[in-house]
Structures are given as C-alpha cells and as structure tokens.
Amino acid sequence: MSMNNFNPPPPPPPPEQPNRDAGGTFSQEFRHQPVSARVPERVARGVLSTGVLVLDGAHEFIIDFMQGLTRPYQVAARIVLSPVVMEQFVVAIQDNLNKYSARFGPPPTLPKPPTERRPTLQEIYDEFKVSDEIASGTYANAVMVGHSPSEFFFDFITNFYPTSTVSARVFLSAAQLPRMLETVGTAFQRFQQRMIAQQQQQHRPGSEPPAAPPGPTDPPPPSNA
C-alpha cells in the first residue's frame, strides 16, 4: 500500500514556554504529525463512495462523497476544506495517481456520463439523501491519501491540540480517481478565477463592491464525478 501525506507540518520547533499576557490568558504554538493521527472507532471502517460532487463557496469547499450503488442513494460523507487545504488536496491526488500509474498502470477507464443534459443541483440532491448526521459536514485541515491495486482511501484529519484525529475515512475505486481529480481540480480553478476577478474589480477606480457569494438558495453550479 502506498500512502501520501499532504499538508505535512514542518519539523517540530524546540519546546517553548507558554506566553502569558497581563490578563492571565495563555498562548502556545503546537504542531502535529498527521501520520500518527488517532482513528476513532466510529470512523475506522470508513465509507465507500461511487462519485464526488464539489461545491465551492467564498470561504470553503464542500466535498460530497456520493453512494449510488443501491437505493436509497445517499451522500456517504460531506467534507469541509479551506481553499488552502483544497489546493494541497488537488496536488496530493495528482501525486498519488502518478505513483499508482507508475506501479500498476493507468486505472481502468469508466464510461463518460451523458453530456446532452446535465442534471441540476436540485435534481441531484432529490436523488441523493443527505442525513441529518452529516448535513453540517466534517471539517478537516489535513488529509492522508493512500492506495492499493484496486482502491484509494482518504483519511480526513483534524490537527487540533492535543491529538490529531481522523474525522472521516472514505474509500474510492481506482477507476473513479481520474474523474475525481478532474472534479476537484475544476472546482479549485473556478475558485481561483473568481478570486482574481474580485481582486481586479476591487482595484478598478470607481468599481462597485463585488457581489455576495451564492447563498443556500442559489448554490454555485456543481462539479460532479
């Protein structure tokens, strides 16, 4: 099995004494090694995904891992990543795919989905159930990516004091990974283009403030795998 740990922290600094201000509060920098993250029993078995849908907002990305093998179709996991972590995630997927292809050859090619009419976001979520348990999503600020000859896994990790913890574990077939890479890559490129456009608008003399990001009732167009 090959593993690729993205967003690795730099080597730990020498121990420092906590900073204490006049008000009696403390602050101290801490860093974790995600490779040693604790895996709670409730997430250890992970979930299987058959596709990915990405929503990009103003401050975060929502990655919905869909499960469409049998009815009722459902969202198996919902992950929330910051733009910085999302960029690193795209790089990590590409790197892991390259390593997989070098060892086992390119993943099997899946049939392309029909392109004459893509379903709307509402139509997709009318088909895929979002349970109350995962509706608010699971935050992660690091990810461990690994693969076997037939599948890839993603351990989404929270690096919080005092212990790094795996907050979600997702399995995806090797054949699905190229499509997932295209999906997350496209979503991140769209986010970058929007940020560049907003910056140019802000620096233009006499320009109006940028439009507010899409709200819950007006979601951005989905990227799905």
What are the structural domain ranges in the chain? Answer: 34-108+122-201
Cβ atoms of 64 and 53 within 8 Å: the answer is: yes
Cβ atoms of 193 and 72 within 8 Å: the answer is: no
CB burial string 144-158: b at 16+ within 10 A, e below: bbbbeeeebbbbbbb
Contacts of residue 20, Cβ cutoff 8 Å, sequence gap at least 6:
26
Hey, what are 43's tokens? 């997430």
Q: How far, in Å, CA of 65 to CA of 185, rounded?
A: 15
Hey, what are 14's tokens? 């020498």
Global pTM value? 0.77
Hey, what are 209's tokens? 């403030």
Q: Using 50, 70 and 90 to split pLDDT, how confident is the model at 210?
A: low
Q: Which amino acid is at 106?
A: P
**Tens digit of each residue's pLDDT (9 = 90 or more) over 33-85:** 556 799 999 999 999 999 999 998 889 999 999 999 888 899 999 999 999 99
